Amino acid sequence: MMASVSYETVGRVAVVTVDNPPVNALSRVIRSGLSDAFGRFQTDESADIAVIIGAGRMLIGGADISEFGKPPQSPSLPDVILQIEQSAKPVVAAIHGMALGGGLEVALGAHYRIAAPGTRLGLPEVKLGIMPGAGGTQRMPRLVGADTALKMITSGTPVTEAEALQSGLIDQICEGVDIREAAIDYAQSLLSDNAPARPISGLPRATDSEGVIQQWRAKLQKSLRGEVAPLVAVDAVEASVQKSFAEGLKEERRLFLHLMDTPQRAGLIHAFFSERAVAKLPEISDIAPRDIARVGVIGGGTMGAGIATSAVLNGLAVTLVERDSEATDKARATIAGNLDAAVKRGKLKAEQRDAILTDALKTVTDYGALSGADLIIEAVFESMDVKKEVFAKLDEILPRGAILATNTSYLDVNEIATTTARPEDVIGLHFFSPAQVMKLLEVVVADKTAPDVVATAFALAKTLGKTAVRAGVCDGFIGNRILSHYRTAADHMVLDGASPYQIDKALTDFGFAMGPYQVSDLAGLDIGYATRQRKAADAHPRDRYPTFADALYHKGWLGQKTGHGYYLYEKGDRKGRPDPEVEQIIAQARKEAGTSPRTFSDDEIVRRYMAAMVNEGARVVDEGIAQRPLDVDVVFLYGYGFPRWRGGPMKYADMRGLDSILADIRTFAETDDHFWSPAPLLEKLVAEGRNFDSLNQR
């Protein structure tokens, strides 16, 4: 369908309709169509007021992202909006569905705004590393005040029509369902009231009497971990309270163009497109998923209770099986607590919680209660023997066609599948903790998994509001396999003289949500210990062992849950403080290993950590465990607290230059060629002058 802007008159109302499916993006054709329509309106003696409206599902979803990074084509959006605003006859924006980014800026160019129920209005530009660049940072504060404007612009989170009405962002909510009719009625009533053109640029500047701008700046500096766009947007809003409208617009343009040029924008756009690309799998493109209504969860510990919460919150019925009634009670209490938290946050009504607990959730000790389930998710202890026993039992109880999934973190899904007579129905569904919160779902496809089981896993992720990434079978799949590798690099640095506290600090300064030792304390040191035990048999004589980690484990210092791990936690405190005793234990471990400690710069820490991550990432792609580098990126963005504005580890490597990463690995190999050997794919790409992104297109 061709993009177009149409013009017609209804009585004395000119109706200007933007039509560019699916989201009426502001492409060049739409911008010039709007400019033509408003040129015509000015000279059209049969029309006294104009309504601008979107065809289809919404007013306007935003700019045309495909034009980003290309030479600008006129007319520019700021000019088109100025032209609308400068109309001598009044203009009404009729908003339904969504008005986002440039779409909301167009509505701010109008003189009156009416919105339909169910509308979302927002300026989400910062999520792509930019900021509003068509007057949004200047008009919004004049209309709703600096504080509300800053909240919307720096968070990027849209508001509802009710919130918009309250803040003054819109003038009316239409009663009926038909926004077009309602907007024309509204325009006609404005005409009979002789309502004038009312440009926002003509309103007085917002004041900053309470110093809100500085408050927002200080707050964001603390929370952003290196992301720049929201802070630059604060500068633009500051200009709106200090400068004339025309000067403020100029400043906005300057700051906008500066952000367009930053690597952060490139990282965030990569994240945005990658998140969409992970769901596009050729192997399931035309395969119908199986129906999932009833879910069984085996095990109600940390993960089982979280998975059950996620399922019931999204409308699925869950039967959870535990070993005894004490454990079922505990699981039910955990889930009820999670639902209470959802009620507190306004995500769930109290009566919905009650209905879930009485009708949708069953907690039992009898596996027989699972017989009607469409999908089982096993989340028992991480032991092959226990898992095999469970799967053999499930195979007896469940009819063919029911999907049997394991939430294992590391174990071989092919081996688990062999205990059933239907390996085609077996798959790995690797959730992350806390499962009702974390967005990532690794879908682990085993050798015999049927394509419609894979399709069902992706459909389930959608139902649960999660992002699914396809992974192949290996120890730890995509995420935990790469984690094991860079975690080892961090342990080596500790053995060689870096403190865990310096390492964590260097990596949070880089932008990670947490450093590796903070992660250990959160997850529990018993998890790492169990993994080392499991892998002990495969150890190589040249592997360097983190004896300090075992020492902490044997002292019972298991992390936050015991109040002591790498950090010491006062009661109720989750941040923790460094512990000199831990440093002594580490010093002892170095002595026993015969290493003489040296100092590390923060830069070297980041380089070693990232080189290990990227190198193993390249192997994971090369072996087909991850389909493309972007799949690795999405796993790290959604499951491992990787800074989104860096795009993911593979995008980071591309932006830094693969030759630079490879050179680091070769340098590190000079003193340890057992751990540091360049991944063949990395060497190949460097030799061919290519980057990881060249593999994302296939």
Where do contacts with ligand NAD occur on this chain (CB under 6 A)?
298-304, 321-323, 327, 379-382, 386, 390, 407-409, 431-433, 523
Q: What six digits make up the tokens of 332?
A: 């039910």
By beta-carbon proximity to ligand NAD, the closer residue of 132 and 559 is 559
Minimum distance of ligand NAD from residue 301's CB (angstroms)? 2
By beta-carbon proximity to ligand NAD, the closer residue of 68 and 381 is 381
By beta-carbon proximity to ligand NAD, the closer residue of 326 and 359 is 326
Minimum distance of ligand NAD from residue 332's CB (angstroms)? 12
By beta-carbon proximity to ligand NAD, the closer residue of 476 and 649 is 476
By beta-carbon proximity to ligand NAD, the closer residue of 188 and 418 is 418
Output the DSSP codes for 602-635. HHHHHHHHHHHHHHHHHHHHHTTSBSSHHHHHHH
Q: Specify whether the CB–CB gap between 403 and 423 falls below 8 A.
A: no
Query: What's the rounded Cα separation, in Å, for the pair 573 and 561?
Result: 11
Which residue number has the CB closest to ligand NAD?
A: 301
Catalytic residue among 45, 85, 125, 210: 125
Query: What's the rounded Cα separation, in Å, for the pair 11 and 188?
Result: 9
| 3-class DSSP state of 77 | helix
Minimum distance of ligand NAD from residue 389's CB (angstroms)? 6
Minimum distance of ligand NAD from residue 480's CB (angstroms)? 8
Q: What six digits make up the tokens of 165?
A: 């009405």
522, 527, 532, 537: CA torsion to nearest 10: -170
* Token pair 């990881």: residue: 692
Minimum distance of ligand NAD from residue 651's CB (angstroms)? 25
CA distances from 80 to 26, 105, 251 (A): 11, 11, 18
465, 468, 473, 479: CA torsion to nearest 10: -90
Catalytic residue among 85, 105, 275, 616: 105
Query: What's the rounded Cα separation, in Å, for the pair 59 and 64?
Result: 14
Amino acid at 35: S
User: Cβ neighbours of residue 199 under 8 Å, at least 6 residues apart?
Assistant: 85, 86, 111
Q: What six digits make up the tokens of 70?
A: 């290309």
Q: Has 105 been annotated as catalytic?
A: yes
Q: Residue 645: which of 657, 661, 633 has the closest Cα? A: 633
By beta-carbon proximity to ligand NAD, the closer residue of 156 and 299 is 299
By beta-carbon proximity to ligand NAD, the closer residue of 229 and 307 is 307
Minimum distance of ligand NAD from residue 405's CB (angstroms)? 11
505, 507, 513, 519: CA torsion to nearest 10: -80
* H or E, element range at 113: strand 112-115
Residue count of the chain, please give it: 698
Minimum distance of ligand NAD from residue 631's CB (angstroms)? 18
Catalytic residues: 105, 125
